[in-house]
Amino acid sequence: MDAVIIGGGVLGTVLAYLLTARGVNATLINSGFQRPRFPLIHSKLLRISEDIRLARISEDVYRELSREIGINVLRPMDSVTIIPNTCYDDTSRLMNMWHNVGVNTRIISDVRDYGIKEINEKEVYILSTNGDNFVNFPLLMKYVRNTNGIKYINGIARIKLSDDGVKALVNSEILHGDYFIITAGAWNSIIARNANLRIPLLPYKCQAAAFLSRRIDIIVYDYVLEIYIRPLGSIINNALGALGLSVMVSGDGNSRVTEPGKEGSVDREFLNEIKNKVRARLGNALLIGSRFGFCESTPDMRPVVGVVGSNNLLLIGGFNGYGAEVGPALAMAVVNYLLDGSWPDYARPYLIDRFGNDWPNIWDIDIEAHELCV
């Protein structure tokens, strides 16, 4: 079987490897518009039970990949989730679901030992172990692109649908295959539009800032200030750690619909707001950089997978800010579909059929699906 994958980011990378490991000839086309520059968070501390299941299965997929390539791409991380006490009842119901997927949680009264400041007396702090990992996507991508059996093509692909079937066009070459899978993240809707397909996806701008602070070794999910703060997780932090320092990355859930290519820089208001919030939580923190990327949403903020336009053309997208958390499970679902012709039960809530033909042309980006206390 020949599969052509368009987009070699988080999903395309995992999918290409899983297919190749099962004897499929995979061609992976990637434009290089966007790539993770540091390890991404994989977290099981999610809000929706089906998502928690995906995160649990995704963890197994990462373990399978790590075993097969001989490099552990997962690095376990502890986290502190900070919630307002008004959200405690909801969160304790979630904690029961987290425990069922192996997370250990403990309410702690003092966060100062972790380098975090208390902001008011109405905060609750949940320390979690076995709930989060850093996934070394920069390394995984490098490895997969050089894997025997994967044909990696650097270029911008288009899909063409005609009476002859589906074709992919890249670098003046026409590619044929038994299956075509669109995994181009925020560019999915552009590829679909150029192929006269209508899909329930919108791109939006997502931003992050980097700070130099005193050494902090945990992830902070802060639902009081509505930000996350995490160590960069790269080799730079190992070196800085010896000096008692860390590079911390922070972002918020604010998002604005915009098409890739139409934005030039990080928003000033974002930087001002995030700087104040990070300093409120960590104390001294020097802003040392920022970047923006493009994320993607469906009308219900949950990922989508399924067949579009032709029975050998598949789409997998809509991962907003949590593609590394739940994506690999849906990549595995695509593998099952290609090899066995059916979707596993866990993937059914994410099938594109749930939208019918009934979705608006534009919608407001809601709270990202991985956020709590909504």
Ligand X SMILES: Cc1cc2nc3c(=O)[nH]c(=O)nc-3n(C[C@H](O)[C@H](O)[C@H](O)COP(=O)(O)OP(=O)(O)OC[C@H]3O[C@@H](n4cnc5c(N)ncnc54)[C@H](O)[C@@H]3O)c2cc1C
Which residues contact ligand X by CB under 6 A? 6-12, 29-35, 40-41, 156-157, 183-187, 191, 206, 208, 291, 293, 295, 317, 319, 321-325, 327
Cβ proximity to ligand X: between 12 and 124 the closer is 12
- Distances in whole angstroms, Cα of residue 185 to Cα of each of 31, 108, 141, 181, 332: 12, 38, 15, 12, 17
Cβ proximity to ligand X: between 124 and 302 the closer is 302
Closest approach of Cβ 325 to ligand X, in Å? 4
Closest approach of Cβ 187 to ligand X, in Å? 3
Cβ proximity to ligand X: between 34 and 136 the closer is 34
SS3 80: strand
Closest approach of Cβ 8 to ligand X, in Å? 5
Closest approach of Cβ 159 to ligand X, in Å? 9
Which among 32, 33, 14 is positioned nearest to 150, based on CA atoms? Answer: 14
Closest approach of Cβ 270 to ligand X, in Å? 12
Cβ proximity to ligand X: between 134 and 337 the closer is 134
> How far apart are alpha carbons 209 and 250 in whole angstroms?
5
Closest approach of Cβ 160 to ligand X, in Å? 13
Which among 183, 191, 181, 188 is positioned nearest to 158, based on CA atoms? Answer: 191
* Strand-strand pairing, 165-170 and 173-175: antiparallel
Q: What residue number has its CB nearest to ligand X? A: 9
Altogether, the residues listed in the chain come to a count of 374
Closest approach of Cβ 292 to ligand X, in Å? 7
CA dihedral (125, 127, 132, 133) in degrees, to 10, reads: 120
> How far apart are alpha carbons 298 and 203 in whole angstroms?
9
Distance of CA 162 to the CA centre of its chain: 33
Cβ proximity to ligand X: between 97 and 175 the closer is 175
CA quadruple 337, 333, 39, 369: dihedral positive or negative? positive
SS3 336: helix
Closest approach of Cβ 143 to ligand X, in Å? 16
The C-alpha angle with vertex 234 and arms to 232 and 237, in degrees rounded to 5, equals 70
Name every residue whose Cβ is closer than 8 Å to that of residue 237 and which is 6 or more positions away in sequence: 231, 246, 247
Instruction: Write phi, then psi, for 314 (nearest 5 degrees).
Output: -115, 155
> How far apart are alpha carbons 168 and 4 in whole angstroms?
8
> How far apart are alpha carbons 334 and 257 in whole angstroms?
28
Closest approach of Cβ 120 to ligand X, in Å? 27
> How far apart are alpha carbons 189 and 184 in whole angstroms?
9
Cβ proximity to ligand X: between 119 and 236 the closer is 236
Cβ proximity to ligand X: between 94 and 304 the closer is 304
Cβ proximity to ligand X: between 125 and 204 the closer is 204
Closest approach of Cβ 190 to ligand X, in Å? 7
> How far apart are alpha carbons 274 and 229 in whole angstroms?
10
Amino acid (1-letter code) at residue 92: S
CA quadruple 307, 313, 318, 319: dihedral positive or negative? positive
